């Protein structure tokens, strides 16, 4: 995926921006930019490329083509075009387009000053405020995120994306009741908003409201079948229903889409350990360092190491468990067992030979 943002948000951005470059673009009569906004993307690119060939000094044409490329996911080409647009015209909207491209490329630190530059140059758009909300959420600067979320709603009170990000601010600051209310409101306005289904499913799952979590997870997967978080949620729901084989399939589907999901690696480690696939369990534990100090992770690691014959490493892991929980009976028994196994004297070879001869 390009980012957490859906393609629908990018489409909304393109349509929102179609008006902001209209005045500059009106000077170029060789292509109807307003009409281009609703054309087939391939036709848009052909029309805009032809227009650029005839008028290479019109920054609005490069900006518009950048938006089409952005919608197509061709981020490098979009960045090249918007850079050219900025050279020709320092319209605030051009900085917003570049900020969006950089955001989708994962270059958030570079995107933020450009988005702020557009905002400080009197560019008003709920899409810009939504982008700023998300950028500040990434930085965990919740007060600023809340400020831009409010501005987005003031400008577009019925914009489901603005409402969704208001909910995100509430969720990130711990107010899950308000977050769910905003998410449900966003879904009333746009029932096919995949990100909202994902976010609300996660909250319901945390609250053990399995019916609601299942409903939004399944709806979200119908809309976004390549969303790894939704596959993780599906796996968790299947675990709750004691369908371990199905859960493992869902978790592995999530990891095939995104191999950096530590919570998913941890779940797979537990399931693989239960199946006796010890090497695989250890590999998944290594990819979930966030859980490495939990008793469950240490127990799986120690048990796997011991069963693989790595007794000294297993002993050290059980000892770590006792540091965390001194009264952990299984760890205490395991430490005693392994110390005896490692410390007991080995019989001499010659005495073994004597016994083998029957003396």
Q: Tell me, what's the pLDDT at 357?
A: 38
Q: Tell me, what's the pLDDT at 31?
A: 31
Give me 318's structure tokens: 């059980």
Taking Cα atoms as reference points, which of 311, 220, 238, 297 lies closest to residue 263?
297
Q: Tell me, what's the pLDDT at 90?
A: 87
**What's the chain's Rg over C-alpha atoms?**
28
Q: Where are the domains of the chain?
A: 1-123, 124-219
Q: Which residue has the higher pLDDT, 57 or 183?
A: 183
How far is the C-alpha of 227 from the C-alpha of 133, rounded, in Å? Answer: 22
Q: Tell me, what's the pLDDT at 3?
A: 44
Q: Tell me, what's the pLDDT at 7?
A: 42
Q: What is the mean pLDDT of the chain?
A: 87
- Fold match between domain 1-123 and domain 124-219: yes
Q: What is the CA 228 to chain-centroid distance, rounded?
A: 8
How far is the C-alpha of 250 from the C-alpha of 237, rounded, in Å? Answer: 10
Q: How many residues does the chain have?
A: 359
- Please provide the DSSP assignment of 283-330 as one string: HHHHT-GGGTTSHHHHHHHHHHHHHTT-HHHHHHHHHHHHHH-TT-HH
Confidence check: pLDDT of 151 > 90: yes
If you average pLDDT over residues 108-116, what whole number do you get? Answer: 96
How far is the C-alpha of 191 from the C-alpha of 158, rounded, in Å? Answer: 14
If you average pLDDT over residues 220-224, what whole number do you get? Answer: 97
- Position 41 confidence tier, pLDDT thresholds 50, 70, 90: confident
Q: Which residue has the higher pLDDT, 349 or 120?
A: 120
Q: Tell me, what's the pLDDT at 30?
A: 28
How far is the C-alpha of 321 from the C-alpha of 334, rounded, in Å? Answer: 11
How far is the C-alpha of 201 from the C-alpha of 196, rounded, in Å? Answer: 8
277 and 258 Cβ atoms separated by less than 8 Å = no
22 and 64 Cβ atoms separated by less than 8 Å = no
How far is the C-alpha of 100 from the C-alpha of 67, rounded, in Å? Answer: 10
Fold of 1-123: 1.25.40
Confidence check: pLDDT of 160 > 70: yes
pLDDT digits (tens, 9 = 90+) for 11-34: 445 444 444 443 333 223 223 333
Give me 280's structure tokens: 């695989």
Please state which of the four CATH numbers 1.25.40.10, 3.90.1150.10, 2.40.50.180, 3.40.50.300 is assigned to the domain occupying 124-219: 1.25.40.10
How far is the C-alpha of 205 from the C-alpha of 176, rounded, in Å? Answer: 12
Question: What's the predicted TM-score (pTM) here?
Answer: 0.81
62 and 82 Cβ atoms separated by less than 8 Å = yes
Q: Tell me, what's the pLDDT at 13?
A: 52
Q: Tell me, what's the pLDDT at 320?
A: 96
If you average pLDDT over residues 116-141, what whole number do you get? Answer: 94
How far is the C-alpha of 39 from the C-alpha of 64, rounded, in Å? Answer: 13
């Amino acid at each position: 995926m390009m980012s957490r943002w859906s393609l629908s948000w990018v489409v909304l951005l393109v349509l929102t921006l179609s008006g902001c470059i209209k005045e500059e673009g009106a000077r170029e009569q060789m292509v109807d930019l307003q009409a281009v906004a609703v054309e087939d993307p391939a036709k848009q690119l052909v029309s805009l490329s032809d227009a650029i060939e005839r008028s290479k000094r019109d920054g609005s044409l490069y900006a518009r083509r950048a938006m089409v490329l952005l919608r197509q996911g061709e981020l490098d080409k979009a960045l090249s075009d918007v850079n050219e647009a900025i050279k020709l015209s320092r319209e605030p909207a051009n900085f917003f387009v570049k900020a969006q491209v950089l955001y989708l490329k994962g270059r958030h630190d570079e995107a933020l000053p450009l988005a702020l530059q557009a905002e400080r140059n009197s560019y008003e758009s709920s899409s810009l405020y939504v982008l700023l909300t998300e950028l500040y959420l990434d930085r965990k600067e919740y007060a600023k995120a809340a400020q831009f979320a409010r501005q987005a709603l003031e400008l577009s009170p019925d914009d489901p994306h603005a409402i969704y990000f208001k909910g995100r601010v509430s969720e990130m600051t711990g107010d899950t009741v308000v977050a769910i209310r905003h998410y449900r409101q966003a879904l009333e306005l746009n029932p096919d908003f995949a990100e909202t289904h994902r976010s609300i499913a996660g909250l319901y799952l945390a609250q053990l409201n399995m019916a609601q979590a299942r409903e939004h997870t399944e709806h979200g997967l119908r809309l976004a079948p390549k969303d790894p978080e939704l596959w993780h949620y599906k796996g968790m729901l299947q675990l709750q229903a004691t369908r371990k084989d199905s859960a493992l399939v869902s978790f592995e589907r999530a990891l095939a889409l995104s191999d950096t999901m530590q919570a998913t690696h941890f779940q797979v480690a537990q399931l693989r350990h239960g199946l006796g696939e010890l090497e695989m369990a250890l590999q998944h534990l290594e990819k979930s360092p966030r859980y490495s100090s939990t008793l469950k992770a240490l127990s799986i690691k120690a048990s796997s190491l011991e069963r693989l014959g790595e007794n000294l490493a297993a002993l050290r892991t059980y000892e770590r468990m006792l540091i965390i929980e001194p009264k952990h009976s299984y760890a205490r028994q395991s430490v005693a067992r392994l110390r005896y196994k490692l410390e007991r004297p080995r019989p001499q070879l010659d005495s073994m030979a004597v016994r083998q001869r029957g003396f």
